[in-house]
Amino acid sequence: MNIAAINFYHPYQKEAIELILDKLDVKIFYQFTYPQLIIENTQVDIQTYDLFALYFPLHIDDYYKSIPLVNNTEVLKYIQSLNQETNIYQMMDRLVHPDSVFFLKTYSKSNILQRYISDPDYFNKYISSLSLDEKMLTLKYYISFWTNFYLSSKLDTILFQEAPSMPFDFVGYLVAHYFKIKTILPEHTPIPGMRVFIKNIDEHAVQLNEYIQNMGDMNDKKFLSLLNPEFKKEIERVYYKQHYKQQPYYMSGIKFSKIRKAPNILNIFRNLNIDYFYAKLKKITNQYSQDNFIRQHYNKLANTNLDLSKKFIYFPLHLQPEKTTHPLGGIFADQLNALTLLSETLPKDVFIYIKENPKQTSAFRTSHFYNYISKLKNIELIPISFDTFKLIDECIAVATITGTAAWEGLWREKPALLFGSSCLNYCNGVYKINTKNDLEFFWKNHHKLKINISELKKFTLSLQNITYSLPYYYAYEQDKATWIDEYFKGYSGLMMENK
């Protein structure tokens, strides 16, 4: 078989791919990666692409000058039919200038870095602030590259390290589906450190259906006895409330995230000249000022006298930019689309209580964003410090794009309105929202809707059957061998499917 792998940026991921090349019958392997992660294997024909160069076709044309431009009308229509064109343009705002520690180590002797050192405004102006015309042209280059690649490579499968949130990677995913090429990606689940391997973002963990249908009822004792340690710890937290005062895991590490920036600052002194130092320092200072301004503006609009006796939907905003909305949110990656749709269908006596993610920066927020929200019908912005679990306990339902708050709400017998793609779409009590009609159905029936805890247990055990233990990056060192083996089993299982 011929396979490709894109954006595997951690050494353990590299080792997992090497295991696939050793164990499976791979004839040609195409790797889209960075210089220090290049895989070498004498038994397999390997072709390598510099991923960073591919990201910037208007500025680094190493690959693009050699490929023919194609008539991409049909592929572009396909992407537009999926409502993904806007998402791709928003992803392009994530194309940051090369000033990270990772980039400095990777491209320390390259012409790209030397150009940045001599002219830092080049990347500030032309890469992190692409005009709409430049974004449209970049998309055309991306489509041309991937179309030529898929037509010439006779590829069977392309492996992603997760749902692609960079524009070049995501276009590669979409064009692969246009040409009916198998894609495989591990996706996060509500259980920390546990992932499910999927072939399609929209269908997500469709294999859950079969497991759920074949799962019998059980009491609490039997249910707990069947849970592995990771699942048991999470169920104790969200259902049995042994860790009720513990903050949601996705909100942990906020203070540490600020300290974590220190190595980047120290790296300024170690690696580059004084011109770079001032450029970087100016960027950090400006970012801090913008973040502080946006947070103060939010606080001014937030209602500090919240009335929990009112009927309300709890809507925690997603941290952006993140793959939980781009691409998993689809058209609702713009959370204002979801909030507007909710507001239009609200009964007169129901409110939406919205809380910002405490990790959110000004990268995807402006004062206009919050002003727009505050003008919607029956909507209240609430203080970021307000207790999440208290809001879940008192609400009618939890609304989110793909957030874990929906999972926490289900175990507190609160229905969930899910606007994006998640394994939770297959769970009892979750209402997938695509259109106004979906919300109108919910409002007509919500008073008689009850969460079936027995069905929730079936879902949990079914999810356990298809997940793999792949902890977040800080946990890699705990068990390297297991992590690599889990990665191999997840990918190879779907690669060999229907072979």
Domain ranges of the chain: 2-82+140-193+470-495, 210-251+302-466
CA distance 169 to 140: 14
CA distance 400 to 338: 8
Residues 6+ apart with CB under 8 A from 257: 359
CA distance 178 to 181: 8
**Dihedral pair phi/psi, residue 241, rounded to 5°:** 60, 30
Residues 6+ apart with CB under 8 A from 131: none
DSSP letter, residue 424:
G
Predicted local confidence at residue 42, as pLDDT: 79
- Class of CATH domain 2-82+140-193+470-495: alpha beta
CA distance 207 to 103: 38
CA distance 348 to 330: 28
Predicted local confidence at residue 281, as pLDDT: 65
Q: Do domains 2-82+140-193+470-495 and 210-251+302-466 have the same CATH topology?
A: yes
Q: Are 33 and 11 in contact (CB under 8 A)?
A: no
CA distance 17 to 256: 31
Burial (Cβ within 10 Å: 0-12, 13-18, ≥19) of residue 477:
exposed
CA distance 318 to 404: 10
Coil vs helix vs strand at 351: strand
Coil vs helix vs strand at 244: coil
Tokens 């996705």 belong to residue: 250
- Class of CATH domain 210-251+302-466: alpha beta
Residues of the chain with pLDDT below 50 are: 97-109, 113, 115-117, 120-127, 243-245, 255-263, 265-266, 268-270, 272
Predicted local confidence at residue 431, as pLDDT: 95
CA distance 195 to 475: 14
Q: Are 344 and 319 in contact (CB under 8 A)?
A: no
